[in-house]
């Protein structure tokens, strides 16, 4: 299989990281086709882009669409945007896991997922525990390579308004110079940096499970040519 005959599948393309990830996947020459699964169609046309509008609560009915060499999962939400913990868990655990499971069954080899700083399946904090649980679940499915990205506070232009995240991001950026030593891991990071690291790392196809903390993500981005 030649490089440009490979297919990437992206979920979460309408989000902050997902939008940048889509751009990198389309601009590069590694993938000949980029499939996006979303709740709504993106206002974008590209010769490599194939879009499907689906109901994520009925993924099994769309199983044949979850087909690619490499899968990029940028799904995520906030407790403010979900009515309950169950609804939140659907977006941050159930959907990413089902996409992974169906994709693997259809021949996918690599899976990249956005997690979060502090993800831990044993955490007492619901958010961190959910992120940790989905990391563990997809890592045990049997992909040739799993790539987990744990960014700190994200910065960048969002399509939807998240006022307090924006305020927090701006405040954190001003204090970044104080975050040295062990505190470096809490420095805010751009969504573009996370997306670039995802695209760059996944195409290398390293075997096994790899976790990239925020500062390592930053280094990958800053070392780009």
User: Which runs of E-coded beta strand occur in 106-178?
Assistant: 110-114, 145-150, 154-155
User: How far is it, in rounded angstroms, from Cα 150 to Cα 201?
Assistant: 14
Tokens of 22: 């889509």
Q: Answer yes or no: are the C-beta atoms of 128 and 119 closer than 8 Å.
A: yes
User: How far is it, in rounded angstroms, from Cα 165 to Cα 163?
Assistant: 6
* Angle subtended at Cα 55 by Cα 50 and Cα 58, rounded to the nearest 5 degrees: 115
Tokens of 159: 């399509």
The DSSP symbol for 142 reads -
- Enzyme catalytic residues: 127, 131
């Amino acid at each position: 299989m030649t490089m440009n005959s490979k297919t990437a599948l992206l979920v979460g393309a309408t989000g902050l990281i997902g939008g940048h990830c889509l751009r990198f996947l389309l601009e590069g020459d590694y993938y000949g086709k980029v499939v996006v699964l979303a709740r709504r169609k993106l206002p974008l046309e590209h010769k490599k882009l194939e879009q499907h509008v689906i109901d994520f609560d009925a993924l099994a009915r769309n199983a044949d669409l979850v087909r690619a060499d490499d899968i990029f999962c940028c799904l995520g939400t906030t407790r403010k945007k979900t009515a309950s913990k169950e609804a939140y868990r659907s977006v941050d655990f159930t959907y990413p896991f089902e996409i992974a499971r169906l994709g693997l069954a259809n021949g996918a080899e690599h899976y990249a997922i956005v997690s979060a700083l502090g993800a831990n399946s044993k955490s007492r904090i619901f958010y961190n525990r959910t992120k940790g649980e989905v990391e563990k679940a997809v890592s045990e499915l049997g992909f040739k390579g799993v790539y987990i990205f744990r960014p700190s506070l994200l910065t960048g232009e969002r399509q939807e308004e998240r006022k307090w995240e924006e305020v927090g991001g701006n405040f954190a950026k001003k204090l970044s110079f104080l975050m040295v030593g062990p505190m470096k891991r809490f420095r805010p990071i751009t969504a573009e940096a996370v997306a670039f690291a995802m695209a760059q790392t996944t195409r290398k196809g390293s075997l096994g499970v790899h976790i990239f903390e925020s500062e390592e993500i930053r280094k990958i981005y800053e070392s780009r040519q």
